[in-house]
Amino acid sequence: MDLEKKASAAEQLARTIRAALLIFAAFLIYNVFIVATTDDLDFVISKQITMPIINLTLPVAGTYIVAPLLVLVLHVNIIYLYVSANRQAAALASSLLDIKFQSDRRSFLLFLDQFYIFQALLSFYGSPKSLARATVVLIELVIFLVPLFIILCIQIRYLPSHDYALTFWHRFVTGADIAAIVVAAFLLSSLRRSYSYALFFGLTCLAAGYLSFFILLSPDDPCELQANRGIIHWVFGPDFHEVGAHWNATAPGISAPSLRFKTRLLRRNLDLTGRRLYSQFPGDQVKAAYISRGKSETELVRKEARGIDLSGADLRFANFQNVDAMLANFSGSDLSGSNFTSANIRYAKFVGAKLIAAKFQNAKMTRVDMSSADLTGASLYQATATGGNFMQAIFAGATLVEADLTGAVLASATLAGALVSGSTLYAATLIKADLRGARLGGSKFTVANLNQARLGGAEFVKSAAASDVRLHLTSLRGVEFGVGDKAPFTIARAKLLNLQAYGSSKPGGDLVMASLKRLGLGMERHQTKFELRPEGDRIGCDEATKKNAKEHASPEVVSFLGTHCDEDSASFGNRVEDYFKDDLCEDEDATWGFVTRITLDDGLPGENLKEHLRNAGCDQITKPLLSKLDELK
């Protein structure tokens, strides 16, 4: 009678476990679908996720809070039922041993519910042969470790959001699940009088806990220490995207990227490579209407599209390579170490953004607004930034090799120790810019405005990789040739050193290391150097410029100023305005830069330019440009 009661209880428990396991398995599979269908765009644009199958839209953060919690609750329930089943199986197996004949035992077992897990446990406790042991071990590996693996997958998928609070929640859930597994393993070991199970699952859970708490981390997580950083980089790879080419510190050539950046097992940063980033984009009918009227796609996007708003977001080390993000707003965001190689970010806003060691190689940056942005150590190699606004931006130690900065506004910008070789700064505005220690070989400063700029230690010299610097009709009134303090260099070095741990350790293969070397070399330059220029070059300067050059610059600079300086500001201003006339109205974006260059030049009101704009026949851009002239005056 006692045997029948035990068998009845065992059957009821087996049915309960079977139903619970089916529900739990379906839920785990559904979580796999959630993880697999979550897109990086969901973290930055909609911040919502459409649930698979049921098509229900839920917040991404809420989904990734509730999903692991439900996995934990259901897993604890399964573990409890499984431990209970082991006790029932052990008790029933002990009672079956009282039946004298084996044939009678088998006959009795035929009437039990044919639930394979319970049958395996009964065989294990009744006659623990090798096959029974292997079957039970396999069952326990699935029941104990698969749900834990799913929780870790949820944690991994959410890492690119850089949400430290939610990542801590995932670690807490993982820890709770590990605790349940360890307790169950010890209970089963006590029941079986063998602690090998407890030791195995204890060590496995210890490894899973270490992975969750010390490896699966977002950058700058408090748990990321020097001791575990090597393992983190082995798992994720260095956070910097070393793609394409960047110039090294001395610029004789291009340094090759590290192959380590192509062997990532997992990701902890956003990857939006090649995506179109707009909050609203015109449909095919609107596009067809513009094309039929002969309008360009740029005009279509500027008038009909709405840029994505990612202001104030944590986007460190995000990969935006080849993205189409015109009109996007990244103002106030942290984009340190991000990669915008070959990206289309024309007319985008990065006002006050943190762009330390960011990469804009070959990027389309026409009329981009990066005023007050921090681009310390950034790379704009071969970028096109015509008419860009970089007022008060920081480019200390940055790479601007062969960049097109025609008409760009860099007033009060800091380019200390920057590498600006071969760049086009035609009609650029660099009033009060800090160019101390910068290398400017081969750059074209034709009709640029460098009034009151700091040029101590700057080198306007020809190098193996760059031709002569052009300074034709460049304004240098009030320029300071003294080196002064080293604050921009030391501040920039401190910023880059904080990021150095997230890059490659390969010499020459990391932009941060190259930038640090550039800053070091820039600090060692104490005298401004010019090369002799063709006789046709004329520059605007004054007596104060010449006097300062005699005190702080090299003899070549003093000689150059004495030969090419035009101290008559009125006549020089007329020459500058006349020089612009052939280029006005050909390119609206460049013309905006030309207007800024004229109107910010002290003593040059731009009246000639204003009159020319009225009569040049550029109807589409005349009105806004004239408004800007009046505003800047």
| Residue 339 backbone dihedrals phi, psi, to 5 degrees | -125, 110
How confident is the model at residue 130, as a pLDDT?
A: 72
Rounded to 10 degrees, the C-alpha dihedral 595/601/605/607 comes to: -40
Lowest mean per-residue pLDDT among 291-305, 425-439, 452-466, 551-565 = 291-305
pTM for the model? 0.84
Q: What pLDDT does 109 receive? A: 52
Note the pLDDT tens digit of each residue in 383-438: 999 888 898 999 999 999 989 998 888 989 999 999 998 898 888 888 899 999 89
Q: How many angstroms separate the CA atoms of 538 and 38, rounded?
A: 60
Mean pLDDT of the 30-36 span? 90
The answer to whether residues 169 and 212 touch, using CB atoms and an 8 Å cutoff, is: no
| Secondary structure class of 426 (helix, strand, coil) | coil
Q: Which of 10-14, 100-104, 271-275, 448-452 has the lowest mean pLDDT?
A: 100-104
Residue 449 contacts residue 476 (beta carbons within 8 Å)? no
* pLDDT confidence of residue 293: 67
User: Per-domain residue ranges for the chain?
Assistant: 2-216
What mean pLDDT is predicted for residues 103-122? 58
Model confidence over 604-624: pLDDT tens digits? 445 555 565 555 555 555 455
Tokens of 296: 């360009």
pLDDT in tens, 249-278: 444 334 444 333 333 457 888 889 888 888
Could you tell me which residues come within 8 angstroms of residue 60 by beta carbon, excluding any fewer than 6 positions away?
A: 38, 42, 43, 47, 48, 49, 161
**Contact yes or no for 556/459 (Cβ under 8 A):** no
Could you count the other beta carbons within 10 Å of the beta carbon of residue 193?
Answer: 6
Secondary structure (3-state) at 526: coil
Cα→Cα distances 480→126, 385, 453, Å: 93, 27, 6
- Return the SS3 of 314: strand
Tokens in use for 45? 């644009």
What's the pLDDT score for residue 178? 96
Share of the chain above pLDDT 70, in %: 76
Q: 57-59 and 48-50 as β-strands: parallel, antiparallel, unpaired?
A: antiparallel
The 3-state DSSP class for residue 221 equals coil
Per mean pLDDT, which range of 124-133, 334-343, 349-358 is the poorest?
Answer: 124-133
Q: What is the DSSP letter of 161?
A: G
